Amino acid sequence: MDREIQLRDTHPEGERVSDTLDSSKRWPLDTPGGRVFAEWQEDLPVTREGQLIFFFQFLQTGGRWSELLRDCPLVYEGNQGSGKTNVFGTLLLSVLSGYYRYAHINTVRGDGVNPALLGMSKVVSEDTVRRALKRIDPDKGLDCLERHLLDSIAQALVLPWILDIDTTIKPIYGHQEGATIGYNPQKPGRPSHSYHSYFVANLRLALGVDVCAGNESASTEGLSGLWRMLDRLSGVQQPTFIRGDCGYGSERFMVECEQRRLPYLFKLRHTSKVKALVKTCMAQSDGWRDTGDGWQAMEAHLKLSGWTQRRRVVVVREAPATAPKKDKPTKRKPNRRGSSTKSKNTPMLPGEDWDAPSKATPWSGKIAVLVTSLDPLRYPTECMPRLYRERADVENNYDELKNQWGWCGYTTRQQGVSQLAATFIAIAYNWWSLYARFYDAEHHREAVTTRPYLMSGVGRQVQSGGQKTVKVSLTHDMSAKIVESVSLISRRLHELNLTAEQWDISQRWAYLLTCVLRPWLGGKWLSGVPPDHKTYLIE
C-alpha cells in the first residue's frame, strides 16, 4: 500500500486544462508568417467607422442634430423610456452605415465609440426603434421632419434653381398598409408603394417625399405633398420652374401651376392630336432650329380636347428624322423571333422610344413634344431640349437613395411610420451630401464612393487625465490624402466654433452652406452670414 501511494506521488497526472478559456490571457498562434500571440480586449471601445467623428463635428457646428432632437415630438412618460436621442441616434448610425432593414440595427450595437459621440447613452434594439416611431403622432412627426429637411438647403434657394419631380416604385414583400398592386415596371403584379419625391436639380438634394399606396403612382396623387413643400418656402425661395416627365403633363397639374404662377416644363404623351401636330410640323421644311448635338426643334401652340387654353409646345426631333423615300423603304433587321428590333442608339429624352414608320407617321427617328409656360424671350426654342434632357439626372437620385440609403427598406405595417422613416433617410442623405462637398465642391459623390473615403477607418477610444482621444487608423490606399484633407476641414470647423460662439444656428448653417456650395453660389455669400465675418471660406 505504501509503495502504491509513493508511485502515485512520483508520477502525477499533470496539469488539468480548464474547460473554459480565460479571455483575459493571450495564447500563441502559429501562422505561415510565424508565431504570434492573440489576446481579446473587450473593454477597449472601438468602431469600424472611425471617421464619423468628423461628420459629427460638422453636425454640431451647424446645429442640425441638436435642433432636430429639440423639435422631435417623441415623448416618453416616466424615466423608463429609451429617449429620443438614443432612438434617432441609433437610426442615424444605421442609415449612415448603409443598412436598409430594421433587423440590421443590431449590427450597430457593437459600436463602442460613435454612439457616445452623438450624445447617446446606449444603442437601442430594432424593436425599440419601430415602437418609438409608432409613438410619434404622424402629423406632428411629418411636419417636424419635413421642416428640417427643407432647412438643410432652404437658405441657399435664394438663387435661381429648378425643381425636379418624379415618382419611383418600391416593391413590398409583406402585408403592409398601402401595399397594393399598381404600376410596377420592375416586378409586375407585385404590391408596392409609390414614392413621390422632389429634388433640387443638379445639386441632387432632396426637398420632400410622400409615401403613397402602390395604385397611387399618378402625378396628381403627389400634388398635396408638393404644394405643402412649396408653401414652406418664401417668395424669393420659389423655384424658377418645375420640371417633370409625361406623367405630369396633365390639365389639372398645369392649371394648378398656372394658378400659383409657377412656370413648368413637361413632356406630352403621344396622343392622336399630338401626333397630328407632329405630322404637320414634319411636313414643314422651314421653321426648324438647330439645338446642337444633332437635334432640331420647332415651336408651336396646341390645345387638346381636355385643356382649357392653348399652350406653348416645342416639337423636338432627331436631325435626320425625315420621311423615307418611296423607292427605298426603311427596312429593319428581324430578330430571332421574327419581330423587328429597336435601334440601339441612346435616347435623346428619357423614356422615349423609336417610332416605326407607318401611314399615320411616315417618318423615322426620335420625336418628342414638350409643353411649357416659360417665357419664350428668356427661354427660346433652342434651349428647351437641353433643359429637359438634364432632368435625366433625377434617376441618379433614386438609384442612390433606394440602393445606398435605405429607401427600399425600413418598412413597417403602418404606412405613416414608413413615411417618417423615408423622410428621416432623406435628411441624413442631405446632411452627408453637403458634408462630402467639403472635399469635392464641383461634383456630387455617391455614398458608395464617399463612405469608404470619409467614414471607414478603425477608431479606438482611449481616456487619460479626464480627456478622451479617438485614434483613427485608415486602411484606404489614399490614406495620406484623406488625412490631409479631413484634418484641414476639421481644424477650420474648430476655428469657426471658437469665433462664432454668439451666432445662432441659422447664421452658422448659412456660413457652412456658403462654404460647401461655393461653385454653385458663384462667389456670393448667403444673407444669413453676419457681414463682419465674411472673411474667408472653408476650403
Say what the pLDDT of residue 342 is.
41
User: How many distinct structural domains can be found in the chain?
Assistant: 1
What mean pLDDT comes out for the span 444-457? 92
pLDDT at residue 362 greater than cutoff 60 = no
Say what the pLDDT of residue 345 is.
41
Specify burial of residue 190 (Cβ count, 10 A radius: 0-12, 13-18, 19+).
middle
pLDDT at residue 243 greater than cutoff 70 = yes
How far apart are the C-alpha atoms of 107 and 110, rounded to whole Å? 6
Distance between start and end Cα atoms, the chain: 90
pLDDT band at 319 (very low <50, low <70, confident <90, very high): confident
Residue type, 434: L
pLDDT at residue 135 greater than cutoff 80 = yes
**Considering only CA atoms, which of 31, 49, 29 is closest in space to residue 39?**
29
pLDDT at residue 339 greater than cutoff 70 = no
Instruction: Count the helices and strands in the chain (H runs, E runs).
Output: 18, 14
pLDDT band at 353 (very low <50, low <70, confident <90, very high): very low
395-421 as b/e: b if 16+ CB within 10 A: eebbebbbebbbbbbbbbebbbbbbbb
pLDDT at residue 421 greater than cutoff 70 = yes
How far apart are the C-alpha atoms of 205 and 437, rounded to whole Å? 12
In a domain, 40, yes or no: no
pLDDT band at 20 (very low <50, low <70, confident <90, very high): low
**DSSP strands (E only) in 375-501:** 458-464, 467-473
How far apart are the C-alpha atoms of 229 and 242, rounded to whole Å? 13
Q: How far is CA 322 from CA 168, 278, 336, 365, 367, in A?
A: 35, 12, 29, 7, 11
pLDDT at residue 302 greater than cutoff 80 = yes
pTM attached to this predicted model: 0.86
Q: Are strands 295-302 and 311-318 parallel, antiparallel or unpaired?
A: antiparallel
In a domain, 465, yes or no: no
In a domain, 489, yes or no: no
Name the grid cell of 246: 409625361
Q: What is the pLDDT of residues 110-126, one digit of tens each?
A: 888 999 999 999 999 99
Q: Residue 51, Cα to own-chain centre: how many angstroms?
A: 21
CA angle 71–72–73, rounded 5-degree value? 110
Say what the pLDDT of residue 8 is.
52
pLDDT band at 292 (very low <50, low <70, confident <90, very high): confident
How far apart are the C-alpha atoms of 133 and 380, rounded to whole Å? 49
Among the residue ranges 65-69, 198-202, 359-363, 450-454, the one predicted with the least confidence is: 359-363
Average pLDDT of every residue of the chain: 85
pLDDT band at 174 (very low <50, low <70, confident <90, very high): confident
How far apart are the C-alpha atoms of 300 and 341, rounded to whole Å? 32
What mean pLDDT comes out for the span 472-489? 91
In a domain, 7, yes or no: no
Say what the pLDDT of residue 23 is.
54
What mean pLDDT comes out for the span 460-470? 86
pLDDT at residue 11 greater than cutoff 60 = no
Alpha-carbon dihedral 182, 184, 190, 192, rounded to 10 degrees: -70
In a domain, 274, yes or no: yes
What mean pLDDT comes out for the span 347-353? 44
Say what the pLDDT of residue 40 is.
83
Say what the pLDDT of residue 2 is.
56
What mean pLDDT comes out for the span 175-199? 89
What mean pLDDT comes out for the span 11-21? 51
Say what the pLDDT of residue 475 is.
85
Q: Determine the structural domain holding residue 283 and report its residue range.
A: 147-326+349-401
DSSP 214-258: TT--SGGGGHHHHHHHHHTS-GGGS-SEEE--GGG-SHHHHHHHH
Kindly report the three-state secondary structure assignment for every residue of 36-72: EEECCCCCCCEECECCHHHHHHHHHHHCHHHHHHHHC
In a domain, 45, yes or no: no
Handedness of CA 344, 290, 257, 301 (dihedral sign): negative
pLDDT at residue 358 greater than cutoff 70 = no
| CATH number of the domain where residue 367 is located | 3.90.350.10
pLDDT band at 183 (very low <50, low <70, confident <90, very high): confident
What mean pLDDT comes out for the span 174-196? 88
In a domain, 356, yes or no: yes
What mean pLDDT comes out for the span 243-251? 91
In a domain, 9, yes or no: no
User: Which residue matches cell numbers 435601334?
Assistant: 343
